[in-house]
């Protein structure tokens, strides 16, 4: 009897689990706390926290309080990982409101991310832009991205600097607005060229003027541009190198445009490949630098990181000589502090170093994949935490409004470090959303982008019979195997079919109905010209337009009557000489 009761209870439980608990639309609440807990970083013993020696001697309870204070001070307790690039992430920028993230990479693309549209299961870029794609014969030539930066005074503009002599201004939606002109490479005096003549390495925006930006090129010049005048730069600064054997020229490796002391004016600072560090007044004149240090870093090393504090009092540089140096703009002669820090400029030139929003800390990456948060007075590490262990950390950014630290690494990952209690929006907003329900369209292998048309290569005939158009398309594809591939030989988008050739009529091959309705007199191309003229013969005879004045006196034209059976007259014989 007990066995029967157990069986009955099991059947009732199974039926209860099978039947719905209510009627109508059922809503599932998301466990936000569990999602955020899942994003907590597990750094373990590799996380090194360097504090004063006095804190190390405190008891266990005090150390726990210190740890909690550190977690609140530095937003590194949780992280969100974006894997939208295929190669090293070299640069990134977030708009002042903290709603949009733009990243650049050596895969020659710029990815646009919108924090408000992403969920924990849809961490992807909403648009990918190749700002340097140019068609060269059958291949497409592209270039890596060195620098991207939102305009702090006009967030709708983005400065993009690829590895070319021409910088570009894009909109926040990825549309090209301005392309600055390239200079004449055959002119020796750089003051007379209207733009850079070689690759641009870095750039930045004016801190207060929304129309001005600066670019640093490997042609030994800094050029100040007005976004409204793309045909020539507004000002050009030619840096004359004093290093032996440089012939007065060197490569400008990094530039920053920041506010001066107490915000009275702007300050322009740049580093060069000859090891020098130069400073100008941001409002000009630029004929001579206001201060210059010839041996700021070792000669022939790439100083890729430079930044100015928010108050304009200090400048920090990270050189290829494995040194980080802090400079005082009011006494710009020698470094205030110096610390050894392994550089990654041998493989990745643009190794970032940035001040925190309130200039209370300095952040940078390392070749081992660790994030270093340094004290701005002594340059000693206050926090060293692994982000991408074993893969160099290239670019860093601490956003003031989000209070989140963003990093880009050589393994193509973008990490967003945050703290749920002190960070707002950004990654914290994404992790507080409900995961998006899976849909068949979320799998890119099951969908096809037909916005550019459908070519003959993608037509599948189940009976194996190919039309002439399909055969011609297949033959063309066989003769051009690299069509639709990048410079490295990889397909740009394996889901997209071959785009048809552009014709003078439209973006695709028009059909007969389109030609008949939209092209005037298009029906005449299929007519016989002789028949088209003879159909007006009767009307011209009855109502002449040009011979109406002598209609009554005009003689009648007589033609000889020749029958079909009559032979044609003999041709004239060729005279013999």
Mean pLDDT calculated for residue range 476-497: 55
Does 224 score more than 90 pLDDT?
yes
pLDDT of residue 452: 44
What pLDDT is attached to residue 451? 45
What is the DSSP pairing of strand 212-217 with strand 221-226? antiparallel
| Overall average pLDDT of the 431-440 stretch | 77
Close Cβ partners of 353 (under 8 Å, ≥ 6 residues apart):
305, 306, 307, 316, 317, 318, 324, 362, 363, 364, 396
Question: Distance between alpha carbon 393 and the CA centroid of its chain, in Å?
Answer: 19
Check whether 178 has a pLDDT greater than 60: yes
Q: How many residues does the chain have?
A: 577
pLDDT at 255: 96
What distances in angstroms separate CA 169 from CA 134, 223, 258, 267, 328, one per listed residue?
A: 17, 15, 20, 22, 33
Q: 3-class DSSP state for residue 446?
A: helix
Do 235 and 224 meet the contact criterion of CB atoms below 8 Å apart? yes
Share of the chain above pLDDT 70, in %: 73
Q: Is residue 328 part of a domain?
A: yes
Q: Looking at the 3D structure of the chain, how many domains does it have?
A: 1
Query: DSSP 3-state assignment of 469?
Result: helix
Dmax of the chain from CA atoms? Answer: 136
Query: What per-residue confidence (pLDDT) applies to 474?
Result: 53
Can you give the residue range of the structural domain that contains 280? 74-437
Per DSSP, the three-state class of 302 is: coil
45 pLDDT tier (thresholds 50, 70, 90): very low
pLDDT at 351: 84
Using a pLDDT cut of 90, give the percent of the chain over it: 50
Helix (H, G, I), strand (E, B) or coil at 500: coil
pLDDT digits (tens, 9 = 90+) for 311-350: 889 999 999 999 999 999 988 989 999 999 988 777 787 7
pLDDT band at 27 (very low <50, low <70, confident <90, very high): low
Question: How many CA atoms are closer than 13 Å to the CA of 247, on its beta-carbon side?
Answer: 3
Across the chain, what does the average pLDDT equal?
81
Cα–Cα distance measured from residue 25 to residue 350, given in angstroms and rounded to the nearest whole number: 53
At residue 148, the pLDDT reads: 96
What pLDDT sits at residue 63?
47
d(CA 555, CA 537): 17
Q: What is the pLDDT of residue 464?
A: 46
52 domain residue, yes or no: no
The reply to whether 197 falls in a domain is yes
pLDDT digits (tens, 9 = 90+) for 495-523: 655 555 555 554 556 677 777 787 877 77
Residue 375 inside a domain? The answer is yes
Q: How far apart are CA 292 and CA 269, in angstroms?
A: 10
Structural domain contains residue 557? no
pLDDT recorded at residue 561: 67
The answer to whether 270 and 216 have CB atoms below 8 angstroms apart is: yes
- Consecutive H or E run containing 223: strand 221-226
Residue 53 has what pLDDT?
Answer: 39
Asked, for residue 517, whether it belongs to a domain, the answer is: no
Distance between CA atoms of residues 444 and 320, nearest Å: 42
Residue 534: per-residue pLDDT? 85
pLDDT at 103 over 60: yes
At which residue do the structure tokens 């609140």 appear?
Answer: 72
Q: What is the Cα–Cα distance from 239 to 219, expressed in whole angstroms?
A: 9
Query: What CATH number does the domain containing 134 carry?
Result: 2.130.10.10
Q: Which residue has the higher pLDDT, 359 or 451?
A: 359
C-alpha triplet 494, 496, 498: angle, nearest 5°: 105
Q: In this structure, is residue 107 part of a structural domain?
A: yes
Q: State the DSSP string of 313-381.
A: SEEEEE-TTSEEEEEETTSTTS-SEEEE----TTT-S---EEE-TTSS-EEEE-TTSEEEEE-TTT--E
Position 263 pLDDT exceeds 70: no
Question: What pLDDT score was predicted for residue 454?
Answer: 45
d(CA 381, CA 404): 19
- pLDDT band of residue 486 (cuts 50, 70, 90) is low
270-289 per-position pLDDT tens digit: 999 999 999 998 888 888 89
The answer as to whether 48 is a domain residue is no
Tell me, what's the pLDDT at 450?
46
Interatomic CA distance for residues 407 and 397, integer angstroms: 6
More confident: 491 or 131: 131
Q: Which residue has the higher pLDDT, 454 or 207?
A: 207
Q: The tokens of 217 are what?
A: 């090129």
CA distance 356 to 399: 8
For position 463, what pLDDT does the model report?
46
Residues 6 or more apart whose CB falls under 8 angstroms from that of 80 comprise: 39, 123, 415, 416, 418, 427, 430, 431
Q: Is the pLDDT of residue 242 over 90?
A: no
| Per-residue pLDDT, 260 | 75
> Backbone phi, then psi, for 136, in 5-degree steps?
-125, 105
Residue 10: enclosing H or E segment and its boundaries? helix 2-18
Report the alpha-carbon distance of residue 152 to residue 522 in Å, rounded.
54
Cα separation values, 376 from 322, 335, 425, 551, Å: 18, 13, 27, 105
Residue 570 has pLDDT above 80, yes or no: no
Handedness of CA 303, 309, 312, 315 (dihedral sign): negative
């Amino acid at each position: 009897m007990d066995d029967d009761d157990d069986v009955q209870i099991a059947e009732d439980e199974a039926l209860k689990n099978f039947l719905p608990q209510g009627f109508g639309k059922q809503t599932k609440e998301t466990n936000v706390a569990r999602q955020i807990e899942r994003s907590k970083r597990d750094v373990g013993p590799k996380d090194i926290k360097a504090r004063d020696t006095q804190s190390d001697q405190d008891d266990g309870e005090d150390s726990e309080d210190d740890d909690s204070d550190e977690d609140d001070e530095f937003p590194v307790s949780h992280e969100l990982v974006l894997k939208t690039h295929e190669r090293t992430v070299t640069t990134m920028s977030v708009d002042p409101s903290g709603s949009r993230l733009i990243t650049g990479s050596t895969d020659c693309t710029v990815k646009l991310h919108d924090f408000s549209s992403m969920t924990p299961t849809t961490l992807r870029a909403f648009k990918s832009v190749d700002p340097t794609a140019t068609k060269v014969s059958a291949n497409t030539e592209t270039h890596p991205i060195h620098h991207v930066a939102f305009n702090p005074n006009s967030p709708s503009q983005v400065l993009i600097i690829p590895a070319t002599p021409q910088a570009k201004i894009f909109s926040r939606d990825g549309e090209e607005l301005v392309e600055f002109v390239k200079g004449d490479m055959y002119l020796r005096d750089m003051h007379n060229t209207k733009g850079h003549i070689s690759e641009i390495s870095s750039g930045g925006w004016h801190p207060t003027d929304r129309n001005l930006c600066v670019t640093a090129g490997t042609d030994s010049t800094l050029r100040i541009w007005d976004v409204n005048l793309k045909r020539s730069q507004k000002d050009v600064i030619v840096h004359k190198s004093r290093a032996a054997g440089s012939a007065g020229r060197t490569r400008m490796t990094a530039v920053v445009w920041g506010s001066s002391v107490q915000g009275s004016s702007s300050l322009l600072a740049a580093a060069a490949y000859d090891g020098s560090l130069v400073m100008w007044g941001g409002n000009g004149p630029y004929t001579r630098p206001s201060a210059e240090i010839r041996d700021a870093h070792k000669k022939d090393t790439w100083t890729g990181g430079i930044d100015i504090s928010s108050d304009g009092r200090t400048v920090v540089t990270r050189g290829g000589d494995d040194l980080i140096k802090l400079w005082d703009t009011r006494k710009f002669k020698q470094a205030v502090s110096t610390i050894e820090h392994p550089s990654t400029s041998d493989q990745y030139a643009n190794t970032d170093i940035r001040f925190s929003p309130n200039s209370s800390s300095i952040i940078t990456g390392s070749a081992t994949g660790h994030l270093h948060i340094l004290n701005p007075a002594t340059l000693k590490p206050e926090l060293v935490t692994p982000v991408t262990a074993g893969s160099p950390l290239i670019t860093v950014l601490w956003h003031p409004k989000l209070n989140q630290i963003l990093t880009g690494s050589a393994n193509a990952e973008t990490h967003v470090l945050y703290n749920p209690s002190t960070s707002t929006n950004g990654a914290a907003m994404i992790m507080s959303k409900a995961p998006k329900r899976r849909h068949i369209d979320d799998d890119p292998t099951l969908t096809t982008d037909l916005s550019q048309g459908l070519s003959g290569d993608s037509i599948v005939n189940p009976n194996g019979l190919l039309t002439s158009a399909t055969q011609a398309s297949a033959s063309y594809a066989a003769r051009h195997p690299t069509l639709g591939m990048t410079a490295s030989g990889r397909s740009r988008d394996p889901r997209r079919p071959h785009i048809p050739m552009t014709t003078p009529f439209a973006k695709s091959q028009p059909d007969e109905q389109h030609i008949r309705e939209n092209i005037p007199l298009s029906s005449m191309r299929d007519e016989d010209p002789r028949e088209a003229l003879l159909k007006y013969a009767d009307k011209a005879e009855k109502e002449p337009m040009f011979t109406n004045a002598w209609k009554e006196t005009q003689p009648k034209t007589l033609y000889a009557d020749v029958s079909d059976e009559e032979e044609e007259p003999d041709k004239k014989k060729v005279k013999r000489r």
